[in-house]
């Protein structure tokens, strides 16, 4: 598995866009790895950005089928169906999807031929699919489940499609590492790492919570090639990194709301921590207490001294409440604790209290 691909992460982009590009880049840069990838989707292949991959890999079918839209020059996705395809389309059937992920993810032990199965669904429907996916992991099936789009950033589509509890579910799922990267470079590093953990006796499944929100990638301040860049990658894979130096309060942010955290940090002169995997940071906290077998060095890198904490994510605020246990410091947890609403992203952030102004207010209240 390559540690990185050749793409330069510049401009504005979302982690969901990065998902689609990664599969195409992997097919181009590491075809021997890409040959093992199988993707699965329940009628959302295009809206979860798998179109480019499908054009390269094709749709799996028992036999060759006619593409009745092949002569339509406006069609963005070439729906070629054959027994050589590496994408499986299931219609609106999330439970069937995760059942298939479990079977595909077990070929490494049953047939000695590891596959790298990846399923994409809208994040709110992770709950619908969770129980059978968990059973598949329990039975030895290793796969990656991608929940995207996620959170209140899906507000323009309506309140019913906004996920709240999935960050906690990801942390609590055995045999799985939960990720929610904010930036596309972080996503590339963590997703390749997660692919490399599949199909092995000591392997693990993964859950990625991705967003459609475009973010300026310059905010990531990724170091150029060299030791500092390698350290950044190591921190990303350990669970998080310091994005802004500062004094007083520490703002800890996850995923799509990192820009708001940086805005608040600049106003306060506070430090900002970007977590890529609260799951791994929680494991480090348990390991430091002697309750788990894991490396806890990331805690010392992220939180070397006690400081008041403001945590913020596009999900339920209790997902990061465990960080109060790092040093026993005062904490204010911001997030989404209500049902979703339709509306503009900025309005929704203010409504749910994950905007920069609310972060500043919470930090000042902590003193």
pLDDT (tens, 9 = 90+) of the chain, 367 residues, equals 999 998 999 999 999 999 999 999 999 999 999 999 999 988 767 778 787 888 877 888 887 777 666 666 666 667 677 778 888 888 788 888 999 999 999 999 998 889 999 999 999 999 989 999 999 999 999 999 999 889 998 777 777 778 999 999 999 999 999 999 999 999 999 999 999 999 999 999 999 999 999 999 999 999 998 999 999 999 999 999 999 999 999 999 999 999 999 999 999 999 999 999 999 999 999 999 999 888 999 999 999 999 999 999 999 999 999 999 999 999 999 999 998 888 888 999 999 999 999 999 999 999 7
Counted residue by residue, the chain has a size of 367
Could you give the CA distance from residue 131 to residue 96 in angstroms, rounded to a whole number? 12
Backbone angles phi, psi at 116, to 5 degrees: -120, 80
Could you give the CA distance from residue 79 to residue 264 in angstroms, rounded to a whole number? 46
List, as one string, the DSSP characters of 233-244: HHHHHHTEEEEE
In the block, which residue shows the tokens 């799985």? Answer: 176
Global pTM value: 0.93
Upper half-sphere CA count for residue 72 (Cβ side, 13 Å): 9
Question: What is the chain's Cα-based Rg?
Answer: 20
In the block, which residue shows the tokens 């997660």? Answer: 194
Q: Given strand 309-312, what is the order of strands in its sheet?
A: 240-244, 271-275, 250-254, 309-312, 331-334
β pairing state of 144-147 and 116-121: parallel
Could you give the CA distance from residue 272 to residue 310 in angstroms, rounded to a whole number? 10
Contacts of 128 (CB under 8 A, 6+ apart): 94, 95
Could you give the CA distance from residue 24 to residue 13 in angstroms, rounded to a whole number? 16
* Structural domains of the chain, with CATH: 12-209 (3.40.50.970), 225-366 (3.40.50.920)
Contacts of 304 (CB under 8 A, 6+ apart): none
Q: Which letter does DSSP use for residue 65 in this model?
A: B
Task: Burial-class residue 342 by CB neighbours within 10 Å (0-12, 13-18, 19+).
Answer: middle
- Evaluated on CA atoms 27, 97, 201, 237, the torsion sign reads positive
């Amino acid at each position: 598995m390559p540690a990185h691909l050749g793409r330069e992460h510049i401009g504005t982009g979302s982690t969901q866009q990065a998902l689609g590009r990664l599969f195409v880049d992997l097919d181009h840069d590491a075809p021997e790895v890409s040959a093992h990838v199988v993707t699965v989707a329940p009628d959302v292949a295009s809206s979860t950005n798998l179109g480019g991959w499908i054009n390269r890999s094709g749709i799996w079918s028992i036999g060759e089928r006619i593409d009745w839209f092949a002569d339509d020059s406006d069609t963005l996705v070439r729906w070629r169906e054959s027994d050589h395809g590496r994408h499986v389309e299931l219609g609106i059937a999330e439970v069937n999807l995760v059942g298939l992920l479990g079977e595909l993810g077990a070929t490494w032990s049953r047939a000695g031929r590891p596959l790298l199965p990846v399923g994409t669904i809208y994040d709110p429907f992770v709950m619908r699919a969770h129980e059978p996916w968990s059973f598949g992991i329990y039975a030895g099936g290793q796969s990656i489940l991608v929940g995207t789009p996620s959170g209140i950033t899906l507000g323009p589509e309506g309140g019913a499609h906004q996920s709240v509890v999935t960050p906690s579910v990801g942390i609590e799922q055995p045999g799985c590492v939960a990720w929610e990267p904010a930036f596309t470079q972080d996503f590339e590093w963590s997703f390749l790492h997660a692919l490399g953990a599949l199909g092995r006796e000591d392997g693990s499944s993964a859950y990625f919570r991705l967003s459609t929100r475009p973010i300026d990638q310059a905010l990531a301040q990724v170091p150029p090639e060299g030791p500092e860049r390698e350290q950044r990658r190591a921190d990303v894979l350990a669970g998080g990194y310091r994005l802004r130096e500062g004094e007083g309060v520490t703002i800890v942010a996850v995923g799509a709301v990192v820009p708001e955290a940086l805005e608040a940090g600049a106003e306060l002169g506070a430090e900002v921590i970007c977590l890529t995997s609260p799951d791994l940071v929680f494991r480090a906290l348990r390991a430091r207490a002697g309750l788990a077998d894991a490396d806890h060095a990331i805690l010392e890198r992220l939180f070397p001294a006690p400081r008041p904490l403001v945590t913020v994510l596009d999900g339920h605020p209790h997902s990061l409440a465990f960080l109060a246990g790092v040093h026993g410091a005062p904490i204010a947890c911001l997030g989404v604790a209500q049902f979703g609403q339709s509306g503009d992203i900025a309005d929704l952030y203010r409504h749910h209290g994950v905007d920069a102004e609310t972060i500043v207010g919470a930090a000042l209240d902590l003193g």
